[in-house]
Amino acid sequence: MSGRWDLPRVVCRLAAAGAVLLSCQACLVASLHPAYDDASIVFDEALLGTWDNRENEVRVVISRGEWRSYHLAYTDRFGTTKFTGHVATLGTARFLNLRPEDGLERPAFLVAANGVLQLQIEGNQARVREPDYAVATDRLRAGTLRIGAATDLKQNVLITAPTPRLRAWLAASLRDEALWADWKTFVRSPQ
């Protein structure tokens, strides 16, 4: 075998192939700006509750936040991470915009990014999918991602376009199945 192994990149690509969003924190497609604006943000009571994905051993507890936001506690085998979420409409599609929990003091030079998941809720099932990390990375390198973006030291993809451009790109991307990871299904736990 020639060359050296880039272990972080190998681990990241393997994790991106089958992991649930956020279980590999170094393999993200995130946005500097949110995927919602004042006209598109909605609050849906159907999202409140405890949701489990048994296949990936993930639990998400979603409660009402301030204004039209949600508090999310995402628990996997590594622990619990808290987020603030907003749901935005884009035509008939819905997106869940996640960012680190609001109200916390952040160290200097730490920028809170937005994760964007396509969201579908039907009864006691919620399905989510995120932009596919490997596809986004390959397209960014090839110059075919069709939106302003960069990578950080951990090779996360950070979309830098402002909200209106991000929303237009998301709308166009819904017709591009290759850009999206597989759907992950969460089932609401009984109360």
Q: What is the C-alpha to C-alpha distance for residues 41 and 66, in angstroms, rounded to an integer?
A: 13
pLDDT recorded at residue 135: 98
Say if residue 148's pLDDT is above 70.
yes
What mean pLDDT do residues 129-144 have?
Answer: 97
What average pLDDT does the chain have? 87
pLDDT digits (tens, 9 = 90+) for 43-89: 999 999 999 999 999 999 999 999 899 999 999 999 999 999 999 99
Q: What is the CA radius of gyration of the chain?
A: 16
Residue 150 clears pLDDT 90, i.e. is over it: yes
Q: Report the half-sphere exposure of 29 (CA within 13 A, side-chain side).
A: 28
Q: What is the pLDDT of residue 108?
A: 84
CA–CA separation, 98 and 117 (whole Å): 8
Span 121-145, mean pLDDT?
97
Residue 158 has pLDDT above 90, yes or no: yes
Strands (E), 3-146: 29-31, 41-42, 49-53, 58-64, 70-76, 79-90, 93-100, 114-122, 125-129
Q: Output 9 or 58, whichever has higher pLDDT.
A: 58
Mean pLDDT of 165-182: 97
What integer pLDDT is reported at residue 26 of this predicted model?
53
Question: Which pLDDT tens digit goes with each residue over 14-35?
Answer: 333 333 334 444 589 999 999 9
The pLDDT of 105-126, averaged and rounded, is: 91
Burial 116-154 (b: 16+ CB within 10 A, else e): bbbbebeeeebebbbbbbebbbebbeeeebebebeeeee
Q: pTM for this structure?
A: 0.83
Backbone angles phi, psi at 100, to 5 degrees: -55, 150
- Residue 28 CA to residue 187 CA, distance in Å, equals 24
Instruction: Answer for the pair 56, 17: CB distance below 8 angstroms, yes or no.
Output: no
